[in-house]
Amino acid sequence: MINQFADYNQVNLKSFEAVVAYLGNLWRYALQNFRLDCSRHHVHPLWTILEHDAEFYPPSPSFTEKRMYKRPGIGNEKNVALALGNLLSIYARNNISARQAWKCLKKSGMWADLMGYCKQRKISKDELFEIIEQGLKERRLASKVAA
């Protein structure tokens, strides 16, 4: 979350010392956006005390309490790689061929992200197909799926 604030405000918040100047801003953002409501029209009294009475020095007026959320396909490389690996394990367990797996992946909701992942790593579609084929073989050999 701190990285999202840093990205939006274009500041470096990679160390504790750098974050200290913005603690008040971050604190207020968190308490205003993730409130402890007792009911629809009533905020828990402790929440109000925490929001208004907490003091952090020095305040940073140049900091905007807004996050830059991840855009689809950006910053999710690890998730794409894990999802592909998990799908290959499922496909191997169900004795799905590489061609069938390729068709399933194209229809899946992750195809665009997978293509972005491959483009970023300079992996061609032919190379991706080979990776899928090899992954299925390895999973079948490493497990009792081959039996």
The model's confidence at residue 72, banded by pLDDT at 50, 70 and 90, is: low
Q: What is the mean pLDDT of residues 135-146?
A: 80
What is the percentage of the chain residues whose pLDDT exceeds 90? 34
The whole-model pTM stands at 0.51
Using pLDDT thresholds of 50, 70 and 90, give the confidence band for residue 21: confident
Same domain for 38 and 85?
Answer: no
Task: Tell me whether residue 63 is in a domain.
Answer: no
Confidence of residue 61 (pLDDT cuts 50, 70, 90): low
CB 73 within 8 A of CB 67: no
Q: Is the pLDDT of residue 126 over 90?
A: yes
Residues 32, 92 within the same domain: no
Task: For residues 43 and 90, state if they share a domain.
Answer: no
**62 within some domain:** no
Same domain, 93 and 45: no
Domain hosting 24: range is: 2-53
How many angstroms separate the Cα of 47 from the Cα of each of 16, 76, 104, 116?
A: 25, 34, 48, 43
What is the rounded (10 degree) CA torsion for 102, 106, 107, 109? 120
Same-domain status, 81 and 49: no
Is a pLDDT exceeding 60 seen at residue 41? yes
In a domain? residue 67:
no
Number of domains in the chain: 2
130: pLDDT strictly greater than 90:
yes
- Residue 58 in any domain: the answer is no
Query: In which residue are the tokens 């309490």 written?
Result: 65
pLDDT value for 78 = 87
Instruction: Give a three-class secondary structure readout of 92-112.
Output: HHCCCCHHHHHHHHHHCCCHH
Q: Is residue 139 part of a domain?
A: yes
Per the CB < 8 A criterion, the answer to whether 64 and 22 are in contact is: no
Q: Are residues 85 and 132 in the same domain?
A: yes
Assess whether 15 and 49 both reside in one domain.
yes
8 and 48, same domain (yes or no): yes
Mean pLDDT of 115-135: 93
89 and 31 together in one domain: no
| Residue 59 scores a pLDDT above 60 | no
